[in-house]
């Protein structure tokens, strides 16, 4: 695989940064250089050297998407723009790799397989589901469906480390269950699919290991960081009661990893990655 033939959209996000680190010679753009919602800019970009588009761009503010402006933006970035990139991929014989989310499901099943029917609960989930459908109509596509992403940027682990350091005992939901996905695991999976020319289609990817609630994950974060803080638990319903513009979340986010694992991909336990991540965070 020639890195110069890769184009990374959304290069400043958590995944975008990790992809740039893995493929330092790839072409890339953040929103300032290429706003993927501008159809003309996408059309006019010189795609002649590109063989693979990695779409790491997305509107990821799940609660923001429930507001009047956010709803429009989420659909623009997560659906319409994905259509523009898919058209470019189709017209130029480019492979498009897109990132999906467990939020396309309603979370009633405790283990999500790739082929589960979409039943999004939120605007974000619906807009991402639309993007998945559009990408899946291109001849050469990979969709990596993931959950609870942790990398370079604002994320749950960083928030809890900040609270822990300040001596706060946070109140965290105990009925949303899933596994973390470190961007390192996502990048490894992307590299695995591309470098082995695996069959096009949808693949689940998260770190492996026991599925846990956000509250239990917070306890593990504090344990690893050596913080003595307590973690108060609350149900999702109670947590969001009285709060405006909050998106409903799936209660079960665990992704079934069998499909990618049967392609000789070895998953890493989220707790091992979490330990490495926290050690690095505490050193910086």
Ligand X SMILES: NC(=O)c1ccc[n+]([C@@H]2O[C@H](COP(=O)([O-])OP(=O)(O)OC[C@H]3O[C@@H](n4cnc5c(N)ncnc54)[C@H](OP(=O)(O)O)[C@@H]3O)[C@@H](O)[C@H]2O)c1
Catalytic positions, written as ranges: 124
Binding flag, residue 127, ligand X (CB under 6 A): no
Does residue number 218 form part of the binding site for ligand X (CB under 6 A)?
no
Q: Give the interface segment with ligand X, choosing from 57-65, 107-115, 213-221, 223-231 (CB under 6 A).
A: 57-65
What is the closest distance, in whole angstroms, from the C-beta atom of residue 137 to ligand X in the complex?
18
Please identify the residue of the shown chain whose CB is closest to the bound ligand X.
Answer: 13
* Strand runs labelled E in the chain: 6-9, 27-29, 52-55, 95-101, 141-146, 149-150, 171-173, 177-178, 181-182, 201-204, 212-213, 232-234
Name, in order, each residue with C-beta under 8 angstroms of 173's C-beta and a sequence gap of 6 or more.
213, 214, 215, 233, 234, 235, 236, 239
Among 6, 7, 8, 12, binds ligand X (CB under 6 A): 12
Quick check: 14 binds ligand X (CB under 6 A)?
yes
Distances (CA, A) of 257 to 76, 109, 112, 166, 204: 30, 15, 9, 36, 6
* Candidate residues 50, 60, 184, 220; the one interacting with ligand X per rule CB under 6 A: 60
Residue 101 touching ligand X (CB under 6 A) = yes
Check residue 133 for interaction with ligand X (CB under 6 A): no
Instruction: Confirm or reject binding of residue 269 to ligand X (CB under 6 A).
Output: no
Phi, psi of 136 (to 5 degrees): -70, -10
Span between the terminal Cα atoms of the chain, in Å: 34
> Which residues bind to ligand X, rule: CB under 6 A?
9-10, 12-16, 30-31, 35-37, 56-60, 77, 81, 99, 101, 128, 146-149, 153
């Amino acid at each position: 695989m020639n890195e110069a033939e890769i184009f990374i959209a959304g290069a400043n996000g958590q995944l975008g940064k990790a992809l740039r680190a893995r493929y330092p010679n790839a072409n890339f753009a953040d929103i300032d250089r290429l706003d993927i919602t501008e159809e003309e800019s996408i059309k006019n970009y010189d795609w002649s050297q590109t063989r693979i588009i990695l779409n790491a761009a997305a509107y990821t503010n799940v609660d923001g998407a429930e507001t009047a402006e956010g709803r429009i933006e989420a659909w623009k970035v997560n659906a319409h723009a994905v259509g523009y990139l898919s058209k470019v991929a189709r017209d130029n014989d480019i492979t498009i790799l897109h990132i999906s989310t467990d939020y396309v499901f309603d979370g009633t099943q405790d283990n999500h397989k790739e082929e589960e029917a979409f039943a999004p609960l939120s605007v974000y989930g619906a807009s991402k589901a639309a993007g998945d459908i559009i990408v899946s109509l291109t001849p050469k596509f990979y969709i990596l469906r993931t959950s609870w992403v942790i990398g370079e940027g604002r994320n749950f682990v960083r928030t809890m480390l900040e609270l822990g350091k300040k001596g706060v005992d946070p109140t965290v939901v105990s009925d949303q269950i899933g596994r973390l996905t470190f961007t390192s695991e996502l990048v490894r999976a992307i590299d695995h699919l591309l470098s082995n020319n695996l069959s096009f289609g949808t693949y689940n990817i998260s770190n492996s290991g026991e599925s846990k609630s956000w509250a239990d994950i917070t306890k593990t974060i504090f344990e690893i960081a050596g913080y003595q803080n307590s973690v108060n638990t609350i149900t999702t319903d109670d947590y969001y009661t009285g709060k405006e513009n909050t998106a409903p979340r799936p209660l079960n986010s665990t992704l079934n990893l069998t499909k990618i694992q049967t392609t000789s991909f070895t998953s890493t336990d989220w707790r091992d990655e979490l330990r490495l991540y926290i050690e690095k965070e505490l050193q910086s």
